[in-house]
Amino acid sequence: KGEKILKVILVDIEGNITLGKGTHLILKDLALLRKYKIYSEKRGYPEAVFCTGRSQPFVEMLTMALDWFYDLPSIVENGSALWWPKTDDYELNPKINLQEWLDIKTSVVKTLLPAFKLDKEFKFEPGKDICLSISPMPNTPENVESLFQRAKKELKKHPQIFSKISVFHSNSAVDINPKGVDKGSGLRFFSQRTKIKFSEMAAIGDSLGDFPVFKLVARGGGKVGCPDNASKECKQLVRKLGGYVSS
């Protein structure tokens, strides 16, 4: 009573809906999430959309599996674009100059290749239009955090490149986007296009890439939360923002 009505729940995928990259899907859990669509329509629950670093085709597949064909869009590729499931429309974040970014992206690849052993220490994630994602190879000493630190250190050696990019990570990959484009800017674009205020949102995530969303939603009067398997830093931030950490 007295609480503002939520209109949308924004959910990260890895570590929140799935266990993570390269792991099996828990079908009984997906079946429960599929039922949420029925409850949301019958009982007036908020619509549920994805706010993820994953590509549009991956999000479309999961949308089909969960039947989350809502009127609202999902935020894909760490804020690079909105994808509207009912119409299949794809809207690029207006902060992105596509031609300029493609040139910068090429420079980033040329910078990283001499510093890392491709297909031995790391690999590029395929299938993304804007975001450049790299992940550690299995059975190597590298993990996402160490790869993030190494990549950031190497890119800082090239100020003309580093000044034009944003570098962050999820639990599965290191993500490189145009400067100022992250899940937070994607959420601002989402709010602008849907006319939904931050106070009418709830956000669920588990890692560094979700922090801009948490801050915007919580400080705007909305709700934030994370699963028990979230990073230590994520749990600390969620608690600091007055959010909920599952157990």
Torsion over CA of 142, 144, 148 and 151, rounded to 10 degrees? 50
- Sorting pLDDT into bands at 50, 70 and 90, what band is 3? low
Give the pLDDT of residue 2: 45
With beta carbons less than 8 A apart as the criterion, state whether 222 and 68 touch.
no
- Sorting pLDDT into bands at 50, 70 and 90, what band is 4? low
Instruction: Tell me the C-alpha distance between 160 and 106, whole Å.
Output: 13
Helix H or strand E encompassing 11: strand 8-11
pLDDT tens figures, 16-49: 999 888 888 899 999 999 999 998 888 989 999 9
Kindly report the pTM of this predicted structure: 0.92
**Range 59-68 average pLDDT:** 96
